[in-house]
Amino acid sequence: MGRSGHNPEREAGSPTFSPSAELPPLSPDDLGVLRRLGARWQVGEAVRTLPVDPQAGEIRSSGVGAAGRPAMLFVRDGAGQLTVTPTAERQDTAEGRAVGGLRRLLLGRPLTSESILRERMPKFIALPVLASDLLSSVAYGPEAMLVVLVLAGSGALGLSLPIAAALVVLMIAVGTSYRQTVYAYPHGAGSYLVASDSLGPRAGLAAAAGLTLDYVLTVSVSVSAGVAAITSALPSLAPYSVPFALAVIGVLLTGNLRGIRVAGNVFAAPTYLFLAAVLGLIAAGFVRAAAGGFAVVAPPPIPAAEGLSLLVVLRAFASGATSMTGIEAVSNAVPVFRPTEWRNARTVLTWMVGILIVLFAGLTLLIHFNGLVPRADQTLLSQLARLTFPTGPWYAIIQVATALVLLLAANTAFNDLPRLLYFMARDGYVPRRFLHLGDRLALSNGLIALAVAAAVILVAFGGRTHSLIPLYAVGVFLAFTLSQIGMVNHWRHHRAPGWRRRASINGVGAALSAVVLVTAAVTKFTAGAWVVVLAVPLLIFMFGRVRRHYDHVQDALGLHPATGTDRRLAPAEEEPPAVVPQQVRHLFLVPVARLNQAALRTLAYVGSLGRPALALHVSPERGEADRFRTQWATWGDHIPLETILSPHRVIIQPLAAYASALRLSHPDLTLTVVVPDVVVDHPWQRLLHYRTEQRLRRALRRHPGIVVTSMPTHLAR
């Protein structure tokens, strides 16, 4: 068995998904405070005397369901536990039913929390789902390398073999490193968790920022490239490429919202098709090369645009390294494997890297043997396929499979980014709603956020792949580097048997990744990498601000101040104030504009609570104030009335000022402002009312100790 992460907090919360992650348990300290506060609670028995039977066996709606009787809303089991039925999950309106029906059609029936364990992938499904990003990279990786080398003339193309060899070493080093990560973090841990654990939170956030950008760009780039492949084959679709790409993102989103197993089934076949097609191409190419005695065809002479320098070699290396994007997918996704997860994940990772090396090395060699050079009108893969299969359906199959696998590469990001956001949300660096498991057990909010961000970037760049490519890969190699430095620290910290060997493997990977990172950031800076270089610190800043807010909330709301940050450790503040009923002193305020049924119902509601109450009337003129007091006396003057003359006819602000001044001069009081509110049938009718309730609520929102209630009166239909 591998060892898990070593931060005590992180060990307490499991790194697998839990539907209860949004509701973490209380600490023993918290429970102690809770017990002490509860002991001071004094309240009459009236509070516990319910006018309803809380143990009713089932709760039905008023409407008539399908079986001719009211629809069941909740059922109670033998243990007394009430459970929601699907009827109570949606609004009981025609609109609510229509939305519910559409959801079910697109996403399938909701899955219960108990189904979570069954939503796992066998290895033969996990491989294509997680590998599409990595393997599709070979469609452009070797070409990206040669495009740089050819700048130094066709004579420099021979350098592709040593650079490719270095890249294969890099692939083996990074792949081995991630094998070790899967082993060290058997519950799944991507670069974020590894870097956080071993290098501290800021390194983790840097890795997370890099990965976040890279996932979003993976979707934008892969979808636009895949759509471009399709529109190249069918040029009549070209004007619709942006809407088409948005539709593809929509399909990917829908598929992933349905849940990961379904997503796997849908997406496995095309990856296998691509794999078979490219392996067939390589096999046929080598047979053909062997028939020619492995003779190397000389490339066509191309003049050098610049001299051959170390910079050119490094840029070629960095560009070729885009073949490796997606290699981290498995280590992030360990929890989606069937048990034993880490073992299955490691097997799949090994296969993926092995296949990548075969494809990358095979294609690079064949390109070299055949003397192919990058051309503007045709990809190298396409040139090679045409040369190897001049006739027959093979060329078309390879092109179609390439287009499909590029579209599916985007799916890896849909698997990984929501998972990353989940872990970050648990640590409080992104909104906690990314913890929420949707009704199909998918991390719906993360999926939707990714789809929206990718769609915005795609539209902003007009769906042009070449504009997006320079932004790509900086983020992912930042994460690789931090993750592998983190693994070095991890081994040095634990000093388990063989730690030196492991640490040195990770060290080599880290060094090579760092070279790629720096090379990519420097050589592509003006071409667009500056966006990423700026965005990473910005994201880190935002993560920090979110965390600071959650810490602040924890300070303010936590039962035990010390569980938050350590700002308020004074013992006097250990027991929070005013959380027992006998401390609450009430005053109810009722703003009344005119004496109609809504006002009288509100006054009756307040009167029935038997607590001190004061009615307020804002009057534009003295005459109106006098008239209102006369009406009040006619009614019987049952509640004290204060009329406020507002000579400039302002209504909301004086009410708010009165309430807040009252509260500030009597800080022991809890003021409850009860506003009569007319509930209209149609939204347009809101224009016909003053919306006093909403405006007063907004004006009083920033004042503590003031509760705002609206007493709704519904218009009879």
Name the residue nearer to its own copies (CB basis): 8 or 623. Answer: 623
Instruction: State how far the alpha carbon of 143 is from the alpha carbons of 219, 408, 512, in Å.
Output: 21, 20, 21
Q: State in angstroms the smallest separation of the CB of 467 from its own copies.
A: 29
Stretch that binds its own copies, among 47-55, 322-330, 390-398, 475-483 (CB under 8 A): 47-55
Q: How many residues bind its own copies (CB under 8 A)?
A: 159
Select from 44, 392, 571, 683 the one that contacts its own copies (CB under 8 A).
44
Select from 4, 82, 386, 448 the one that contacts its own copies (CB under 8 A).
82
Decide if 403 contacts 229 (C-beta within 8 A): yes
Rounded-to-integer distance, Cα 573 and Cα 567, Å = 11
What's at 445, amino acid-wise? N
For 322, other C-beta atoms within 10 Å of its C-beta total 24
Per-state percent for the chain, helix, strand, coil, to nearest 5: 65, 5, 30
| Six-digit token string for 406 | 């590029």
Rounded-to-integer distance, Cα 485 and Cα 69, Å = 65
Select from 12, 25, 98, 269 the one that contacts its own copies (CB under 8 A).
25
* Residue list 439-478, contact with its own copies (CB under 8 A): 439
* Residue list 564-593, contact with its own copies (CB under 8 A): 576, 578-587, 593
* Residue list 607-636, contact with its own copies (CB under 8 A): 607-614, 618-625, 627-628, 631, 634-636
Instruction: State how far the alpha carbon of 74 is from the alpha carbons of 51, 186, 296, 667, in Å.
Output: 19, 39, 75, 43
Decide if 606 contacts 582 (C-beta within 8 A): no
Q: Who's near 102: CB < 8 A, 6+ residues apart?
A: none
Read off the DSSP letter of residue 472: T
Name the residue nearer to its own copies (CB basis): 37 or 511. Answer: 37
Q: State in angstroms the smallest separation of the CB of 435 from its own copies.
A: 10
Q: Does the footprint of its own copies cover residue 304 (CB under 8 A)?
A: no
Name the residue nearer to its own copies (CB basis): 37 or 166. Answer: 37
Name the residue nearer to its own copies (CB basis): 434 or 480. Answer: 434
What's at 664, amino acid-wise? L
Q: State in angstroms the smallest separation of the CB of 479 from its own copies.
A: 25
Select from 31, 106, 238, 251 the one that contacts its own copies (CB under 8 A).
31
φ and ψ at residue 606, rounded to 5 degrees: -65, -45
Q: State in angstroms the smallest separation of the CB of 356 from its own copies.
A: 38
Q: State in angstroms the smallest separation of the CB of 335 from its own copies.
A: 17
Select from 2, 110, 153, 201 the one that contacts its own copies (CB under 8 A).
110
Stretch that binds its own copies, among 435-443, 467-475, 476-484, 530-538 (CB under 8 A): 435-443
Q: Does the footprint of its own copies cover residue 89 (CB under 8 A)?
A: yes
Decide if 412 contacts 137 (C-beta within 8 A): no
Select from 559, 591, 692, 696 the one that contacts its own copies (CB under 8 A).
559
Q: What is the DSSP string of 474-515?
A: HHHHHHHHHHHHHHHHHHHHH--TTHHHHHHHHHHHHHHHHH
Rounded-to-integer distance, Cα 509 and Cα 502, Å = 11
* Residue list 113-132, contact with its own copies (CB under 8 A): 113-114
Q: Does the footprint of its own copies cover residue 654 (CB under 8 A)?
A: yes
Name the residue nearer to its own copies (CB basis): 328 or 439. Answer: 439
Rounded-to-integer distance, Cα 551 and Cα 565, Å = 6
* Residue list 187-226, contact with its own copies (CB under 8 A): none
* Residue list 59-78, contact with its own copies (CB under 8 A): 59-62, 73-74
Stretch that binds its own copies, among 3-11, 58-66, 147-155, 261-269 (CB under 8 A): 58-66
Select from 50, 67, 105, 290 the one that contacts its own copies (CB under 8 A).
50
Q: Does the footprint of its own copies cover residue 105 (CB under 8 A)?
A: no
Task: Report the DSSP beta bridge partners of residue 714.
Answer: 679
Closest residue by Cα to residue 226 from 405, 378, 377? 405
Select from 174, 245, 353, 711 the one that contacts its own copies (CB under 8 A).
711
* Residue list 591-610, contact with its own copies (CB under 8 A): 593-598, 600-601, 603-610
Rounded-to-integer distance, Cα 264 and Cα 121, Å = 7
Q: State in angstroms the smallest separation of the CB of 672 from its own copies.
A: 8
Q: Does the footprint of its own copies cover residue 685 (CB under 8 A)?
A: yes
Q: Does the footprint of its own copies cover residue 708 (CB under 8 A)?
A: yes
Name the residue nearer to its own copies (CB basis): 32 or 158. Answer: 32
Q: State in angstroms the smallest separation of the CB of 531 from its own copies.
A: 22
Rounded-to-integer distance, Cα 67 and Cα 54, Å = 26
Question: Which pairs count as long-range contacts for 341-345, CB under 8 Å and 24+ apart, including other chains?
Answer: 341/186, 341/187, 341/188, 342/2, 342/182, 342/183, 342/185, 342/186, 342/187, 344/123, 344/126, 345/126, 345/182, 345/188
Q: State in angstroms the smallest separation of the CB of 652 from its own copies.
A: 10
Q: Does the footprint of its own copies cover residue 438 (CB under 8 A)?
A: yes
Name the residue nearer to its own copies (CB basis): 340 or 583. Answer: 583
Cis amide prior to 340 (ω within 30 degrees):
yes
Going residue by residue from 662 to 681, which x/- string records binding to its own copies, judged by CB under 8 A?
Answer: x-xxx--xx-x-----xxx-
Name the residue nearer to its own copies (CB basis): 158 or 640. Answer: 640
Name the residue nearer to its own copies (CB basis): 269 or 680. Answer: 680
Stretch that binds its own copies, among 199-207, 409-417, 503-511, 682-690 (CB under 8 A): 682-690
Stretch that binds its own copies, among 5-13, 311-319, 412-420, 644-652 (CB under 8 A): 644-652
What's at 116, amino acid-wise? I
| Six-digit token string for 514 | 């760092």
Greatest Cα pair distance, the chain, in angstroms, is: 113
Q: Does the footprint of its own copies cover residue 433 (CB under 8 A)?
A: yes
Decide if 145 contacts 160 (C-beta within 8 A): yes
